[in-house]
A and B are shown apart, each in its own frame.
Chain A
Amino acid sequence: MKRHLVIGATLALALWGATAGAAVAGGIIGAAPIQGGGHGHGHGAGAQTFVVYGGQPLSINQNGQYNITTVIQFGNVDGVAIEQSGATNLASVFQYGNINDLLISQFGHTNSAYVRQYGREANNSMVGQAGSMNGAFTGQYGPRNSSSTWQYDH
């Protein structure tokens, strides 16, 4: 178990760093949805919907009071990292690639994460939530599924 936690924490920190760096480099997209593009970086509050084809990684950083993000990915290798810091956070992710990787980090009063992964080869999901009310659903439908959920209520 400790080995899983160490690996998970290391992976989380690595992805978190990549997310933060990418968000700074990518600039502010706001609520503009992305369709058909390779990748995108969002930074800002409000509702965002990303539909991504082509299997490019996607990183999203939201820090408004209400953060809502929906991501739908269709690439062969799908990867997404979402970080939300606000009073109310909602992240919904649907991944249909052969291999799906996902990291959701939420820091708010109320955190909700909804994940569905349909990988033909593998699904990997990590969800971390720190808030008063934390709710997470993870559905994985593939031959090899790995899910790690960490919740801390305070």
Chain B
Amino acid sequence: MTRIGAFAIVSAVIMSTSANAGGAGDETHGNTTIVRNGDSVAIVTQSGDPAQAEVHVEKRPGYTRIFRQSGGNTTVVTQSTGGNVKPEDLPPWLQEFLRR
């Protein structure tokens, strides 16, 4: 078997394993946090010592919030399936900008 063939098989196994592992739900593995909620997914990867990372995940049907801080890295992700945006939902400064 060629090296390319062996690499392809190993890659396929790794990818399928990752996909199966991810299908169960959320993961915090090393430097990466993955949160799935319905049809939404959020992935955060940060450098630094994973043991020192501060990770907060809030999840309920239709809503996900992730806070992750590691070293000089800070990420906040908010996902919501809360319907369409209305004009009044725009930030006031943006409404003013569009009226010009």
Contact = CB atoms under 8 A, between A and B. Distances in A.
A3 B50 CA distance: 21
Interface string A1-29: 11111101000000000000000000000
Given A1-B22, A151-B75, A141 B43 contact: no
A133 interface: yes
* A interface, over-half SS: strand
B14 A147 contact: no
Given A132-B72, A145-B42, A151-B46, A4 B79 contact: no
Interface string B30-52: 00101000011111111110000
A135 B76 CA distance: 8
A150 B45 contact: yes
Given A132-B72, A153-B71, A148 B78 contact: no
Interface string B18-29: 110110000101
